[in-house]
Amino acid sequence: MATTTLTTENFETAVTENNIVLVDFWAEWCGPCRSFGPVYEKVSEANPDIVFGKVDTEAQPGLAGSFGITSIPTLMVFREQVLIYAQPGALPEQGLEQIVRAVRDLDMDEVRAKIAEHEAEHADA
């Protein structure tokens, strides 16, 4: 299995020790989550250099709550410890592959510069 179960105990380590981490917030009772699961698994197998984590929102309510998860499935993507994507809804395989390509192509120096610029603009707020 190419996906990793993420919990409050290993979530931070997964994000800090890996370049790219995708996180699927899901629950067993959720129909769209069950249909997205095989898509997520298939894309994870095609991208072994990326961590594809899964957070069971029923088993990890604190972790889901800390990210403000109100709808599942929700996909979050971290690159170099920066949250760069967060969107609820099941994706088709092509859509998930497109996100993976976009994440790989990101210029993280540019992303960090934009974050710093935004923080500087709002420092007095």
- Each residue of 30-60: pLDDT tens digit? 999 999 999 999 999 999 999 999 999 999 9
Which residue among the candidates 30, 55, 77, 100 is catalytic per the annotation?
Answer: 30
Task: Answer whether residue 15 shows pLDDT above 80.
Answer: yes
Determine the average pLDDT of the residues in 79-104: 96
Residue 75 per-residue DSSP state = E
Phi, psi values for residue 63, rounded to 5°: -65, -45
Q: How far is residue 11 from each of residues 8, 21, 27, 40, 109, measured CA to CA in Å?
A: 6, 10, 17, 18, 24
Q: What is the CA radius of gyration of the chain?
A: 15
Longest dimension (CA), the chain: 48
Active-site annotation holds for 25: no
Q: pTM of the prediction?
A: 0.91
Q: Which long-range contacts does 65-70 make (Cβ < 8 Å, 24+ apart)?
A: 67/25, 69/25
Mean pLDDT estimate for the chain: 94
At residue 121, the pLDDT reads 86
At residue 125, the pLDDT reads 59
Active-site annotation holds for 33: yes
pLDDT above 90 as % of the chain: 85
Which residue among the candidates 15, 21, 33, 90 is catalytic per the annotation?
Answer: 33
Look up residue 90 and give its two tokens: 């099941």
Tell me which of 2 and 28 has the higher pLDDT.
28
Determine the average pLDDT of the residues in 82-103: 96
Look up residue 73 and give its two tokens: 């499935």
Q: What sign has the CA pseudo-torsion 97, 92, 22, 70?
A: positive
Task: Answer whether residue 1 shows pLDDT above 60.
Answer: no
